[in-house]
Structure 1
Amino acid sequence: MAFSGDGKDGRELRVYENLDELKVDLVEYIAKLSDAAVKERGTFAIALSGGSVIGLIGALCQAPYRETVDWSVWQVFWADERLVAKDHPDSNYKLAKDGLFSKLKVLVLPSQLHSVNGLLSAEDAAVDYEFVIRQLVRTRLIGVSETSDCPKFDLVLLDMGSDGHVASLFPGHFDPDETEEWVTYITDSPEPPSGRITFTMPVINAAANVAVIATGSDKAEAAHLVIDDAGPECPLPAKMVNPADGKLTWFLDKLAASKLGSCAQSSE
């Protein structure tokens, strides 16, 4: 690891020499959070996103994690999803299933994977997914935030885009002042496919832990604007990630961290 330390607002920054180092530490980070949540609540509620996330955590289905993680109590959700069939190449569900959960067949049951109905309209899919989450909050499979009525996921795992988007909250394509909805939708995504559902920022910020991943040189400028607080008054979505009663951890490779200020650069 090139650098690990606390940034502004209690954020932890972890910068790695290469992608392999990042993968190893990210998987260990998830396993430790899972163990802590299971000991505290008896379950682990994790929300995944698309992008490169699944490719980075594939080692979870290998030794030692295949044997040491208590998969039977995982409850898996999607922080965002493309509105396509579950077997479509663009489906985040398919990406996660093929890259991870199909390799844990007897350890993770289909009932533990709470996927989005991508065959509904965008609005209906958002309403339906929020209903599913609300039901599981009532049964305590998902915790409740101490500071709001939002669900408190044990971990929301996000990949930041080169434009500073997280989940499917794209600059100029979401309401930064949203406070009521847990799940919203867009029909004009700047990246295909155009129809998507996504957690709102209040739900992301209600999580006990949020991890934001940024890898590659194309993420360097956005990482600088977000982490160094160098952007315009109207913030990039990733800059709005700030858990109210949780912890934010950034995982970056050296390419994505190449434009960061002295906090990281002087410690490498």
Structure 2
Amino acid sequence: MTTTVPLIYSFPEFEGVAEAVADHVISAQNMTLYNTLDHAQIKLIKDHLANRKIAASASSISLSNSHSGSGSGSIGGTESSTANLNGASSNGVSSKSKKDKKKKQELRFKIAISGGSLIKILFQGLLSREEEIEWDKWDVYFADERLVPFDSPDSNYGQAKREIFDHIKGDKHPKLHHIDESLIDDPQECADAYEKLLIDNFAKKDSVKLPMFDLLLLGCAPDGHIASLFPNHGEILREKLAWCLPVSNAPAGPENRITLSIPVICHAHRVTFVVEGLTKAPIIRTIMERPEKGLPSSIVNEGAAGRVTWFVDDDALKDCYEVTKKKYKFLSIEGST
């Protein structure tokens, strides 16, 4: 048995997994954006931000009008405007406080997903609760990608777009951060470009060792691979520095891929595995009860200790005898907290 036991939630059917995963995702969104799951508190914060935005807009219009009315050559008007601006800076909010407020206003939910059956689970769970999802504040990344054209059924981005994001109602959509399709013939160059995208979005002018996703969602294949990290690819599993890695000669599906590295996955604020189906039962038993085998998800269970959650159906846990299943408590439904 693994020395670090993750949270394991089990459900009789696929629908139960989808509903709980959706709730888990929405809860992660709310904690990231508002640091609370309380619906009344979230509404207050939203109202406050909306009012502040209206006030800022009105102030901008007023300032623009005062400038246009001062006349071109009116030194006194210019000095007065400058004095007012300086006064606002010294008597009101400091420059640092303004930056802090702006940073708080610009909080975004950074989520990474893989493909396969996980997409179907997200489709079923999330789209039925769209009124609770703030799509326009989402940055969606991909934990791995098969190096195929986006219109291929093997493309994780293509599948996610067709099966989830193209079905969003309204005009608010997430930002989807996908690979450069023009680089699919060169795994190393494609991985380097995606890593640069991650550095630009997570590091910017700061020096950060690893990106931190608010939530990283993964499946697990019958052969034990997660993202595009395969059990027998020892060198890739031991990588410590790179954020994104090229994968060649994958033993299943399209052989050329890119994937996030183990350190990046383990650094996420929340790491969540979603697994369903009887075909997964043997590998789930090995992951949970034989960590010494060194399967990628066993490594993550240890490396992200305390931040790992598994959502599985009963079929996938059929062969496990040494795991403790928990009952999932819905957190983001109004009145449940």
Tell me the CA shift for residue 244 of structure 1.
Answer: 3.8
Tell me the CA shift for residue 246 of structure 1.
Answer: 5.7
Higher relative contact order (CA 8 A, sep 6+): 2
Q: Do the aligned residues in 1 keep the contact of 2:6 with 2:306 (CA within 8 Å)?
A: no
Q: Tell me how far apart the structure 2 counterparts of residues 244 and 30 of structure 1 sit (CA, whole Å).
A: 18
1:70 aligns with 2:144: no
Tell me the CA shift for residue 217 of structure 1.
Answer: 1.3
Give aligned-pair identity as a percent: 30
User: Larger radius of gyration, structure 1 or 2?
Assistant: 2
Matched ranges for 1:30-69 at <5 A: 30-40=25-35, 42-63=107-128, 65-69=129-133
Q: Which of 174, 182, 191 does residue 119 from structure 1 map onto? A: 182
Q: Which of 225, 229, 245 does residue 169 from structure 1 map onto? A: 229
Q: Which of 161, 170, 174 does residue 97 from structure 1 map onto? A: 161
More helix per residue: 1 or 2?
2
TM-score normalised according to structure 1 size: 0.86
Q: Do the aligned residues in 1 keep the contact of 2:9 with 2:326 (CA within 8 Å)?
A: no
Q: Deviations over 1:214-259 (max 9, x none)?
A: 211111111111112x25x441111111354761001111111011
1:13 aligns with 2:8: yes
Q: Do the aligned residues in 2 keep the contact of 1:207 with 1:245 (CA within 8 Å)?
A: no
- Change in CA separation of 1:118 and 1:172 when aligned onto 2, cut-off 3 Å: farther
Q: Which runs of 5+ in 1 are unaligned?
A: 1-6
Tell me the CA shift for residue 119 of structure 1.
Answer: 3.3
More strand per residue: 1 or 2?
1
Q: Tell me how far apart the structure 1 counterparts of residues 295 and 305 of structure 2 sit (CA, whole Å).
A: 21
- Change in CA separation of 1:244 and 1:192 when aligned onto 2, cut-off 3 Å: closer
Q: Tell me how far apart the structure 1 counterparts of residues 324 and 197 of structure 2 sit (CA, whole Å).
A: 41
Letter aligned with residue 228 of structure 2: S
Q: Which runs of 5+ in 2 are unaligned?
A: 36-103, 328-337
SS of the equivalent of 2:218 reads strand
- Change in CA separation of 1:8 and 1:22 when aligned onto 2, cut-off 3 Å: farther
Superposition CA RMSD, Å: 2.3
Q: Which of 24, 28, 34 does residue 29 from structure 1 map onto? A: 24
Q: Do the aligned residues in 1 keep the contact of 2:224 with 2:296 (CA within 8 Å)?
A: yes
Q: Tell me how far apart the structure 1 counterparts of residues 295 and 4 of structure 2 sit (CA, whole Å).
A: 17
Consecutive aligned runs of 4 or more in structure 1 exceeding 4 Å deviation: none
